Amino acid sequence: MTSTELTSTDATLTGERADLLEALGNARFFLRNTAQNLTEEQANQNSTVSELTIAKLIKHVAETESSWARFIVEGPSAMDFDEADWHALWTVTEPLATLLDRYAEVAARTDELLATLPSLDVAHKLPEAPWFEPGKSWSARRVFAHIATETAQHAGHADIIRETIDGQKSMG
C-alpha cells in the first residue's frame, strides 16, 4: 500500500484524504511513542520547567482532537469550554493506559470521520477566542490539517520531556 492509498473500514482513500490520514497517523505515532515503557510516575513527571507531562499532553491532545472532530460536524458550539473544562483538560487522574486507550478511540473516530465525510469543504465559523481571527471559518480540510499540526507540535514537546526523564528519544 502506498502513502497515497490507505484503506479505511469501508473505503479506499486516495489523494488529500490519504495524505491527511497519513499526517495524522505519523503525528499520533510520535506522541504515543513518547509514552512507551514509561511508569505511571514517569508519565506524570514534570521533568522540565514546564508544568506539562507526557500524560497531560496525551490527555490534552485526545480531548482537543475530539473537540475539533465535533466542530467539523456540529460547528462552534462543540468548542464551548468554560474554565472548569479547560482545567480538566490539564488534570490527569487516569492511568497512562487509560489515556492511551482513550486517545486510540478518539483517533479511530476522527479517522472514520475523515474517511466518510461527504466533503472536506464543509466549513464553520471558528469560536470566539483571542487566537482566532474574528469571523473566520475553517473547512473540515483545514481542521484535519490543524489537528495533525497541533499533534506534531505536542509530540515534539513530549519528546523533550521524555529525553529529560530517561534519555530516550522518540523522534530521532
In this prediction the pTM is: 0.88
Residue-wise pLDDT for 103-149, tens only, equals 999 999 999 999 999 999 999 999 888 888 999 999 999 999 999 99
63, β-bridge pairs: none
pLDDT at 38 over 90: yes
Question: What is the C-alpha separation between 156 and 154, in angstroms, rounded?
Answer: 5
pLDDT at 156 over 50: yes
pLDDT score for 10: 42
Range with the poorest average pLDDT among 96-100, 130-134, 150-154: 130-134
pLDDT score for 66: 96
End-to-end CA distance of the chain: 25
pLDDT at 42 over 50: yes
Residue range 74-95: average pLDDT? 84
For 136, other C-beta atoms within 10 Å of its C-beta total 10
